[in-house]
Chains A and B, each alone.
Chain A
Amino acid sequence: MTVTEDRPAAEIGQARRRKEDQRLITGRTKWTDNLTLPGMLHLAMVRSPVAHGTITSIDVEEAKASPGVIAVITGRDIADEQGSLPCAWPITEDQLAPPHPSIAVDTVNFAGEIVACIVARTAAQAKDAVELVDVEYDDLPVVLDMAAAAEGGDLTHPDLGTNVSATWVFDSAEAGTGTNVEDAIQAGEIIIERTYRQQRLIPAFMEPRSIVVDPTGEQTTMWSATQIPHILKLMLALTCGISESKLRVIAPDVGGGFGGKLQVTPEEVITLVVSRRLGRPCKYTETRSESILAAHHGRDQIQHLTLSANRDGTVTGLKVELLADMGAYLGLVTPGVPILGAFMYNSIYKFPAYRFVCKNIFTNKAWTDAYRGAGRPEATFAIERIMDELAAEVGVDPMEIRERNWIKPEEFPFSTVAGMEYDTGNYEAATDKAKQLFGYDELRAEQQRRRESGDPVQLGIGVSTFTEMCGLAPSRVLGALSYAAGGWEHATVRMLPSGKVEVLTGTSPHGQGHETAWSQIVADRLGVPFDDVEVLHGDTQIAARGLDSYGSRSLVVGGMAVVAAADKVIEKAKPIAAHLLEADVDDLEFEAGKFGVRGTDASIGIGELAFAVFSAHNMPEGVEPSLDAEATYDPVNFSFPHGTHLCAVEVDTETGEAKIRDYTCVDDVGKVINPLIVEGQVHGGLVQGIAQALFEEALYDDSGTLVTGSFVDYLVPSAADMPHFTTDRTESPSTTNALGVKGVGEAGTIASTPAVVNAIVDALRHLGINDIEMPCTPHRVWSAIQSRSSGEETPAQSQNVADSGLPSHNVTVSEGPADGGDGADPNVGRADSTSTGSETNGGAA
Chain B
Amino acid sequence: MRITTTVNNERHEVDDVWEGESLLYMLRERMGLPGSKNACEQGECGSCTVYLDGVAACACLIAAGQAEGRDIVTVEGLAEGDDLHPVQQAFLDAGAVQCGFCTPGLIVATHDLLARDPRPEDSQIRESLAGNLCRCTGYEKIIDAVKLAAGRMASTSAGGGA
Contacts and interface: CB of A to CB of B under 8 A. Distances in A.
Partners in one complex: yes
Interface of A: 15, 17-18, 20-29, 31, 33-34, 36, 124, 204-208, 253-256, 258, 285, 287-288, 510-513, 676-677, 679-680, 682-688, 710-712, 716, 718-722, 724-725, 748
Nearest to B91: A25
Interface string B19-62: 01100000011000111111111101101000000000000000
Interface string B124-138: 011101111111111
Given A18-B95, A720-B127, A255 B139 contact: no
Interface string B56-80: 0000000000000000001110010
Given A25-B84, A27-B104, A711 B40 contact: yes
Contacts of A205: 99, 135
B124 to A, nearest CB: 10
A366 B154 CA distance: 50
B142 A18 contact: no
Given A255-B101, A511-B100, A21 B91 contact: yes
B97 interface: yes
Interface of B: 18, 20-21, 28-29, 33-42, 44-45, 47, 74-76, 79, 84, 88, 91-93, 95, 97-104, 107, 122, 125-127, 129-143
Contacts of A748: 138
Contacts of B131: 718
B40 A687 contact: no
Contacts of B88: 25-26
Given A207-B37, A683-B141, A720-B126, A18 B132 contact: no
B41 A288 contact: yes
A136 B39 CA distance: 32
B45 to A, nearest CB: 6
B134 A206 contact: yes
B137 A24 contact: no
A711 B45 contact: yes
Contacts, number: 179
A321 B157 CA distance: 63
A750 to B, nearest CB: 14
Given A677-B95, A718-B133, A722-B138, A20 B100 contact: yes
B47 A206 contact: yes
Given A684-B138, A724-B140, 8 more contacts: A20-B100, A24-B100, A25-B100, A25-B103, A34-B34, A206-B37, A206-B47, A684-B136
Contacts of A511: 98-100, 136
Given A24-B103, A204-B135, A719-B125, A17 B38 contact: no
Contacts of B95: 15, 17-18, 676-677, 679-680
A23 B84 CA distance: 11
B40 A710 contact: yes
A687 B33 contact: no
Contacts of A716: 133, 135
12 contacts: A18-B92, A22-B84, A25-B88, A27-B75, A208-B39, A253-B99, A288-B41, A688-B135, A718-B130, A719-B126, A719-B139, A724-B143
Contacts of B139: 683, 687, 718-719, 722
A3 B143 CA distance: 42
A718 B107 CA distance: 15
A17 B136 contact: no
Contacts of A513: 98
Contacts of B126: 718-720, 722
B34 A31 contact: yes
B135 A288 contact: no
A679 B141 contact: yes
Q: 6 shortest A-B CB distances, which residue pairs? A: A27-B35, A24-B100, A511-B99, A255-B101, A683-B138, A711-B44
B132 to A, nearest CB: 7
B100 A253 contact: yes
Contacts of B134: 206, 719
A208 B36 CA distance: 14
B92 A27 contact: no
Given A17-B93, A719-B125, A288 B40 contact: yes
Contact of B140 (A21, A24, A712, A725): A725
Contacts of B79: 26
A768 B32 CA distance: 61
B18 A29 contact: no
B141 A680 contact: yes
Contact of B97 (A25, A28, A208, A686): A25
Nearest to B143: A719
A682 B140 CA distance: 10
Contact of A712 (B41, B42, B84, B141): B42
Contacts of B29: 36
B107 A720 contact: no
A685 B135 CA distance: 9
A716 B34 CA distance: 24
Contacts of B129: 718-720
Contacts of A33: 34, 38
Kindly name the residue among B18, B126, B136 whose own CB sees the greatest number of chain A CB atoms within 10 A. Answer: B136
Contacts of A288: 39-42, 44-45
Contact of B101 (A17, A31, A711): A31
Contacts of A253: 99-100
Given A288-B39, A680-B141, A719 B130 contact: yes
Contacts of A255: 37, 39, 99-102
Given A21-B97, A288-B41, A718-B131, A256 B136 contact: yes
A684 B135 contact: yes
Contacts of A720: 126-127, 129-130
